[in-house]
Amino acid sequence: MKRIIVAVLLVAFTFPAFGRSASVRGHVTKKGVYVQPHNRTTPDKSKANNYSSKGNVNPYTGKPGSVDPAAPRAPRR
């Protein structure tokens, strides 16, 4: 019985950590470009859980991910 309770609590506390999204307000960039409001995954260290990663589907647009999370990324400027 204790194992079941521990398992349920473990799932209950770890499940919300996956698939969280955040709303981003519309804003103007430093270059003066307006970015429309949108949703994105909350920031973390993983590249594999983003909507754009292969194997994932964006729940807001229905588009499948196309970016290989294992591929090296170009350095940011």
The pTM for the full model equals 0.47
pLDDT of 18 > 60? The answer is no
Q: Which residue has the tokens 């909507």?
A: 51
pLDDT tens by residue, 1-10: 878 777 776 6
How many whole angstroms separate alpha carbon 4 and alpha carbon 45? 31
Q: Domain segments of the chain: what residues? A: 18-70
DSSP of 2-27? HHHHHHHHHHHHHGGGSS-EEEE--E
Tens digits of residue pLDDT in 47-65: 787 888 888 888 888 999 9
Q: For the chain, what percent of residues have pLDDT higher than 90?
A: 22
What is the C-alpha to C-alpha distance for residues 36 and 71, in angstroms, rounded to an integer?
A: 28
